[in-house]
Amino acid sequence: MAGKVKTSRKRGLTGQAFDALPLAERERIYQELERTPTAELIAQSKPLSRADAALHRQIRRRGRGRPKIGKGSKLVAVTLELGLLEQADRFAKRNKMKRSEMIAQGLALLMAS
């Protein structure tokens, strides 16, 4: 099985490294996986490490998507003057925050005053 997916896995072929492979090499790997019976692929697989198993348990408990903060969130469409929006985006970028985070903090400050 030299030169096949199995040896690639031994070298630790990551998703990013796979994407960097030439198209012909990626196609060869796809074709090999299609030819290999599922039972054989399962037999070749290894159990998760303790760290990976713990991570999977944590993700399963937490659920998918963003973690819920407070009561959750709701998408709100707001119309802003373009100049103000550009200033807001620059401010958010300088302060390493997301636009929605900046707006939420601004609303909280305004309502607290």
Residue 84 belongs to some domain of the structure: no
| Rounded Cα gap, residues 81 and 93, in angstroms | 18
- 56-68 pLDDT, tens digit per residue, is 888 888 767 766 7
Residue 82 belongs to some domain of the structure: no
Domain count for the chain, please give it: 1
Residue 41 belongs to some domain of the structure: yes
Residue 27 belongs to some domain of the structure: yes
- 79-106 pLDDT, tens digit per residue, is 999 999 999 999 999 999 999 999 999 9
Residue 86 belongs to some domain of the structure: no
Supply the range of the domain harboring residue 12. 5-62
| Rounded Cα gap, residues 56 and 97, in angstroms | 28
Q: What is the mean pLDDT of residues 69-79?
A: 86
Residue 38 belongs to some domain of the structure: yes
Q: What pLDDT is stored for residue 14 in this prediction?
A: 81
Residue 95 belongs to some domain of the structure: no
pTM above 0.85, yes or no: no
Do 102 and 95 contact (CB within 8 A), yes or no?
A: yes
Residue 71 belongs to some domain of the structure: no
